[in-house]
Chain A
């Protein structure tokens, strides 16, 4: 068994190289890449300044032209000066040293960007995933036990509806209906937390105490040169404890970080309701049906008849004997969880404007920010490949037939 896992790990290497090489090559040959975009920006800028200067039409053409030299240096900037296989080798070498390059649009290391956005996606995705398992497993079990009943038929209709609506489509619809655009205003229109909380907001009651910057003793203020006189600080600020008690007051407006812990939690949850609902919706149909079918199949097995023949009650037979077996396909899905979360998050994060991993990838594709695109590909494919191994490992844990052969 160990040799099997070692083999699996070794197989990851060629797979990884295959995926990245393919994608890297594609980025090299599709039109509209970063060099062309830079040329376009340059030409636009030239055209604008040309108009502003009122130059002749003859020289416009010349100004829009890019010299051979410039082209070469542009290509060098974006790493397009070498043949693609050589560029790939250089890129791969850097990746092996955990250097994913620098984003063209953010001018920051790709690695930092990903580290920053990743937790946001994980929180949303994991909540959606956990919640959907918490709903789908009991529902699937109950549907299998009550197969053919009114409950089973009724919930099947729900499953069909959920199956036919992609999560993000429902997101668009629900945002329109509930997000304050057209009908009701009960959920935020996007983002991961509140940017501004005004006095009328229900969250205002959870605002912390605060103080005027000008009330901070002079000696302490020197340590925080960035604070302006007209600003306020909240109770979490390190300078707050130096403000005399009588100068402190309860904040009336503020943003997410000015809220108390409970307030921040509520604010985050309030922002999570719709996106998480969409995640659940996306997984609802397949997970429920998988659970139901898996249990149904096991309930028809001979060993279930044996268990009944022992005199065990229906409850024990279903929940001890059949359920354990039918959870095998569900549990192995856990290994794919991360990559499923990420795959599902692109559109949902776009719809709800959640500044996470998915949105980063989406924007990088639109902007042809290839270092970010490839960085996300690296992380995504690593997660997928590890997920496969984790799935196999879970399979071994649950199913003795695999463990011992």
Chain B
């Protein structure tokens, strides 16, 4: 098996607020293999964005802080450099080896610079291209993401683009330096339903045409996962609850939370009267249950769930579940 591109080990990112310490990400472990599309799914507030921003070291500090863990990217421990306050390491990687697309296309571009300037900026910065070369490359990238008459539109400003077009620009910008990892944090959530699928498809298409970057796709939508991902990480309350490849997740989900997420999906051919949702509300991060954080909403709860936090167990090769009901696979 190839070496993982990115290893996240025991990542803990806390926010110190007036109400107390919010353990937004509390011991997260996963790996991203080169070229794969890994989904992170979970309800709003489960710590998906904080996980991705921690990888990029973009957590606003204060109030946030990465308090523990290792993030090993292409053999380098990014957090070791971070702890030594050596920010050059991550600066050389951001926008170059790892780039990121955000949820809000309307506000993620600088309103006072042209699209061309903003796409060309990272090329000049990381690849040392001269402005002319960078501009030409920017035009190519914009054509690649399907912006019509890119050579003219490069001189326009973000407000002259629609939301979908801006997200295309963000994709062009993110992939312009041929990164090996692209983090997309809910890239389609803010868009019209009609163009959501287009943008996802485009991302995969451009990925295949360029350096075949691995993609870490964050979403709260299981349908998006089904269409795009190879493997899935299910997050809840700052912890990973289940990891498996996409087929396994959809065919034999082990964690009651994953099962709940899947039950809320409309099934093809099925006439839906009312989509089932997971009962109850996400507990406050300041007031998490002592045991399993999902026990307040779980429909298969055991007595010990309330007091004993479950460990991660491997139920079949590559399938990990954090649940007292899960049976570890028999070691050969």
List residues of chain A with CB under 8 Å of any chain B CB: 301-303, 305-313, 321, 324-325, 398-401, 404-405
Contact = CB atoms under 8 A, between A and B. Distances in A.
Contacts of B125: 310-312
Interface residues of B, number: 28
Given A302-B102, A302-B104, A311 B110 contact: no
Given A311-B125, A404-B159, A306 B111 contact: no
Contact of B94 (A303, A308, A325, A401): A308
B241 interface: no
A310 B112 contact: no
Given A399-B112, A401-B159, A404-B159, A308 B58 contact: yes
B44 interface: no
Contact of B112 (A302, A311, A400, A405): A400
Contacts of A404: 157, 159-160
A287 B112 CA distance: 22
A311 B173 CA distance: 12
B126 interface: yes
Of A308, A309, A321, A405, the most chain B CB neighbours within 10 A belong to A309
B94 A306 contact: no
A50 to B, nearest CB: 76
A303 B157 contact: no
Interface string B156-195: 0101100000000010010000000000000000000000
Give the interface centre of A303, A306, A324 by most chain B CB atoms within 10 Å. A306
A305 B125 CA distance: 16
Interface of B: 56, 58, 91-96, 99-100, 102, 104, 107-113, 121-122, 125-126, 157, 159-160, 170, 173
Contacts of B95: 309-312
B157 A309 contact: no
A228 to B, nearest CB: 66
Contact of B159 (A306, A308, A312, A405): A405
A398 B110 CA distance: 13
B110 A303 contact: yes
Contacts of B110: 303, 306-307, 321, 324-325
B159 A302 contact: no
A88 to B, nearest CB: 46
A305 B109 CA distance: 10
Nearest to B93: A311
Nearest to B170: A306
A26 B125 CA distance: 64
Nearest to A303: B110
Given A303-B110, A305-B58, 5 more contacts: A303-B109, A310-B121, A311-B94, A312-B91, A401-B111
A382 to B, nearest CB: 32
Nearest to A300: B60
A306 B108 contact: yes
B157 A313 contact: no
Contacts of A312: 91, 95, 121, 125
Contacts of B94: 308-311
